[in-house]
Amino acid sequence: MGTATLRLFLLIVPADDKLFLQRLSETALYKDYEKAFSDSTGLPLSLTHKETWGLPLQGKKGENPFCALMAKDRKACAACLEVNKKLSDANEQNGPVSVGCFAGLCDTVVPVQLGDRKIGYLRTGQVMLAEPSQEKFDKVTKQLIDWGVSIDLKDLREAWFNSKILSQEQYQSVVTLLKTFSSHLTLVGNQLQIQNENVESPFIRRAKEFIAHNQAENLTLEKVAKVVNTSTFYFCKMFKKATGLTFTEYLTRVRIEKAKNLLLNPHLRISEIAFEVGFQSLSQFNRAFKKVSGQTPTQYRKENVLSPEEWDEQEESED
């Protein structure tokens, strides 16, 4: 994430859980642990928001070479995103959750708390918990061929058989390490929250929190000003001063950021996403998304998830 992008990100969601995760990931504690974890276990590690739908381990040190190949093909990538969906669906779980993929690799998330709220996960995995076999690889290959994945089978075989292998007991020890570190991150996160509360105006903080939790509703400047017990004029003036954005601009960007995350879920239609994040019509959503992101929702999804064939079908149905 570039400096300009990071500044914009902090501007858009300063009261959102993503900010705390960003700040936690930049602490010396996290950076040192991430390096030590990957060096000692050979596994990747990522700190992600609880609703992340991308590929959080992509490009990380220790990334499985097979998973790296899969990420290059959109059809294969959809299978990886399905694992993310299963992990995301486990939001109500208080402890670690592990999910296996079609290729026999296991991923695990360990929740990270901020106060009494779950805000994200420590994620690791892309590991085999049993010895690979030619019979299993043949099944994996058949599945990929059925999906129409275009990956060189020789490279695929070499990458798959070179996957990290741990016993159930070894992997459980890895998860225990993450549980312990998650507790440490919770303490650091609470300290960061206190620091943030000491710097930011209480009514601005409450306004951002209210917007973050109700962005899908029909929010108005008057409604939010009333929630924080200020006049509309004063709220408008102070909110612009604190964020650099008007209330409408801020709300739109919060909704667009939420939509970007949902667009990575291939199971959701663009029209569904538009209404879920708070837009009143698909055309309004398309205009706002392009203004903020420089591309349409369909183009964004095409570049990040769908194969060209699937994109054509989506474009015909939504445009």
Q: What is the residue extent of each domain of the chain?
A: 3-194, 202-318
pTM of the model: 0.62
Question: What is the strand order of the sheet 97-100 is part of?
Answer: 46-49, 117-128, 105-114, 97-100
Identify each DSSP E strand in 139-255 by its residue range.
Answer: none
Task: Give pLDDT, residue 191.
Answer: 64
First-residue to last-residue Cα distance in the chain: 31
Cα-Cα-Cα-Cα torsion 140, 141, 146, 150, nearest 10 degrees, comes to: 120
What are the tokens at 25?
A: 């990931």
The answer for residues whose C-beta is within 8 angstroms of residue 179's C-beta and 6 or more apart is 95, 96, 110
Identify each DSSP E strand in 129-246 by its residue range.
Answer: none
Does residue 279 sit in helix, strand or coil? coil
Task: Give pLDDT, residue 113.
Answer: 79
Nearest to 9 by CA among 261, 300, 197, 281: 261
Task: Give pLDDT, residue 201.
Answer: 77
Q: What are the φ/ψ torsions at residue 109 (nearest 5 degrees)? A: -120, 140
- DSSP secondary structure letters along 260-272: HHHHT-TTS-HHH
Superfamily of 202-318 according to CATH: Homeodomain-like (1.10.10.60)
Q: Which residues pair with 49 in a beta bridge?
A: 120
Domain 3-194: top CATH class: alpha beta
Q: What is the mean pLDDT of each run of 10 residues along the chain (319 residues)?
A: 33 52 81 93 90 80 92 76 75 80 92 78 93 93 86 89 95 92 77 58 86 91 91 89 86 90 87 93 93 88 62 47
Does residue 107 sit in helix, strand or coil? strand
The answer for residues whose C-beta is within 8 angstroms of residue 314's C-beta and 6 or more apart is 270, 298, 301, 306
Task: Give pLDDT, residue 126.
Answer: 94
Alpha carbons 184 and 175: distance in angstroms, whole number: 15
Q: Are the C-beta atoms of 101 and 79 separated by less than 8 Å?
A: yes
User: Same fold for the domain at 3-194 and the one at 202-318?
Assistant: no
- Mean of the per-residue pLDDT values of the chain: 82
Task: Give pLDDT, residue 189.
Answer: 67
Task: Give pLDDT, residue 305.
Answer: 67
